[in-house]
Amino acid sequence: MVRNNFHMDIKDLKEDVVKMIEKVENLVEKSVEALLNKDLELARKVIKLDDDVDEYMYYIEEKAIELIALQQPMAKDLRIIFSVSKIITDLERIGDFCVNISKETIKIGKEEHIKPLVDIPKMKDIILDMLKNLRSSFILEDASLALKVGKEDELIDNLYKDIYSDILTMIHENREYINQGTKLLFVGRYLERIADHITNICEKIIYISKGEIIEIN
């Protein structure tokens, strides 16, 4: 009975992580939506919503510590608990980057964008797709899907390079674009870092599934 309860605790812990992934998905979507629509109220809402992500991380962290202390898990169970403690840290950092995007949006305010924002929403769409598949790979402990998701980070890197090149060219041609151009570069960089953290999580899922420590890309 004790071990049955323990396996239920592990199941609950994984479900908590899935909920945290969903919270982060919501922040990614809303932070970029706020930028595209110059919705400063939504940007402020994202900043507040991140507090919930932080609190959820501490909640999961405490549950994981308690399981290790009380149950002394072995083998795969220990891998799951150890990996969860790392995964929630990456998810919390993704939330922080969404806050950073929202802060840049507030600084830009209602200014007309210096260029049509094409690559940034593309990055957002790929990241949301990565997070959706990340969620599935975590639930199923599917190492091959996690590897596939992690490799999509290269798509984000390439889009960020395009943004960087385009905006630097615009700034070179018109110095008045420096202020907003720099902020948009930061947004691109934050999205690129979000994809990096997703890749980190994919590596942890592979570790849970196979017990192998690998580095994607």
Residues 9 and 12: their CA atoms lie apart, in Å, by 5
100 domain-assigned = yes
**CATH number for the domain that contains residue 102:** 1.20.58.220
User: Both tokens of residue 102?
Assistant: 């929202």
Task: Please answer whether residues 177 and 114 qualify as being in contact, where contact means their C-beta atoms are separated by less than 8 angstroms.
Answer: yes
pLDDT greater than 60 at residue 1: no
Percent of the chain exceeding pLDDT 70 equals 98
- Cβ neighbours for 30, distance < 8 A, ≥ 6 positions apart: 42, 45, 46, 49, 98
216 domain-assigned = no
To 10 degrees, what angle do helices 2-37 and 75-108 make?
20
Q: pLDDT digits over 57-92, tens only?
A: 999 999 999 998 887 778 888 999 999 999 999 999
pLDDT score of 137: 98
Q: What is the mean pLDDT of the chain?
A: 95
pLDDT greater than 50 at residue 206: yes
pLDDT score of 3: 59
Q: What is the average per-residue pLDDT within 102-126?
A: 96
pLDDT greater than 80 at residue 2: no
195 domain-assigned = yes
Q: What is the average per-residue pLDDT within 188-192?
A: 98
pLDDT score of 75: 83
- Cβ neighbours for 55, distance < 8 A, ≥ 6 positions apart: none
Task: Please answer whether residues 76 and 151 qualify as being in contact, where contact means their C-beta atoms are separated by less than 8 angstroms.
Answer: no
- Cβ neighbours for 190, distance < 8 A, ≥ 6 positions apart: 97, 98, 100, 101, 104
Q: Which domain holds residue 53?
A: 2-210
217 domain-assigned = no
Task: Please answer whether residues 161 and 191 qualify as being in contact, where contact means their C-beta atoms are separated by less than 8 angstroms.
Answer: no
124 domain-assigned = yes
pLDDT score of 50: 97
173 domain-assigned = yes
Chain centroid, CA 29 distance in Å: 11
Q: pLDDT digits over 164-177, tens only?
A: 999 999 999 999 99
Task: Please answer whether residues 138 and 18 qualify as being in contact, where contact means their C-beta atoms are separated by less than 8 angstroms.
Answer: yes
Query: Structure pTM?
Result: 0.95
User: Both tokens of residue 47?
Assistant: 């900043």
Position 217 confidence tier, pLDDT thresholds 50, 70, 90 = confident
Structural domain count, the chain: 1
Percent of the chain exceeding pLDDT 90 equals 88
pLDDT greater than 60 at residue 25: yes
179 domain-assigned = yes
pLDDT greater than 90 at residue 5: no
